[in-house]
Structure 1
């Protein structure tokens, strides 16, 4: 691999080198095949949920509309870093431009913030459905659902504007080697020519706020849901209530369990091996498992997916005969 310090005329870094996963060529091939399979299955799984919600009239409810938005977010999420990571595995230079690095950082972590907001809104939806069932239809209207979805998309991208502006003003004059597979906050700030404690503190505070605010809100919602469920007289009613929340709670546990390890204190990310693994987990594993979790634990979703599969098997043979 060719590694060099790339600077422009003014002496500032114009490109970064993403080391990715430095290992022997045989291991690189195995990792490439594994990550490619996970990437393809993630796209297919989340796309199938979107198609199932779109094709089934029964699933045109706020809960599933939010789930379809969440699945589309997961598709965008994996596309923000995985294609670059796969391309760099067999690239000699492994370079990414300074602008490209900032854009990757912005889109990746904006969608990470949007994911936290979507999980909060989905928790709010489950809270209303279980704790306020009589008022649920009048409160969680399709109009409110659409507004909440727009809020999650816009809110995540607005939240990361300040960090990306701050990072764009950090002086980078070399070295330009990032020991990661994406432009992550900790390794990026570690390459600064001068100490940037204020930028590190500001970025750490902003990332910590979105993590803790959404997580504490979700936790509070589930406390209220648990209290309401425990007052349900029948065992079948309690089981039904728990089953509607189980998938969402599993996804929340996967996402926040990994994110909190790394981005509450982004300036301390000097354990590159652990950092890569944790980032890889929540950037690839959670989007991969999410469609499986929601489809396997939800009867309506399984019926819609089976119906969609039947429709596809009827369409393609007819198209082949023509």
Structure 2
């Protein structure tokens, strides 16, 4: 009989937590216990919520201590830290990751378990087949992100990929062997490899509440993913810097020839100032890219913990 733990990161999800538990209890209770013969539990990770999310977790843990466990952070460390904490604290043979808002359909779990039980796969991942119902602007930029990162990174990430997946112990241990502070789990899961089965599903609406990801946060998260799995931005900065240097040489030759042929008129200083500003802007742009990578190095070498636990049951 195998043990399965489902990790559920939560941040201000007091309304969704009991609904998530009821649905998972019904699905896993009917399938896992009765047919597959596995033991299962849920590990809620409270990412420093400011509402009653932790209270909901405590109530569920008291009412069902066999199937519900939780850990609570000392403050908000972000979803990536919550995922890592869950993986570190799950010692089961099968470990899954799901969002509490039920946008990851739990009805896929029996199928995912079957694939792992077959021994043909080490992990079962998921991706959305369509983004119907999602805001058009967010959907457009999401597609552009996946196109860009798959073009410049050696680690392919399928468009619409979700964190929702079920892994065996080998995959979990491989992910935990990467204790980096700057984490982009979608990339890490694909980087470690292993035999993977991908299941698709249509866009699901949240069961309760509203998303905590603003457009600005999603853009920032996208940049994190690009920089964590590609050094191409540094190459681009070098190319842009080299190109601007070559253009400046041609501009200098042009200015010298013009001065020899037509003299040295004072007219034209606006264009000269524009060129200086343009080159200066390119330099600052390139320095900004290099600075982002240096900042990541700075965060890693300090070796601060990915998260701090305040309470655990």
Same fold (TM over 0.5): no
Higher relative helix content: 1
TM-score range, shorter chain: under 0.3
Higher relative strand content: 2
TM-score normalised to the size of structure 1?
Answer: 0.26
Structure number with larger C-alpha Rg: 2
TM-score normalised to the size of structure 2?
Answer: 0.26
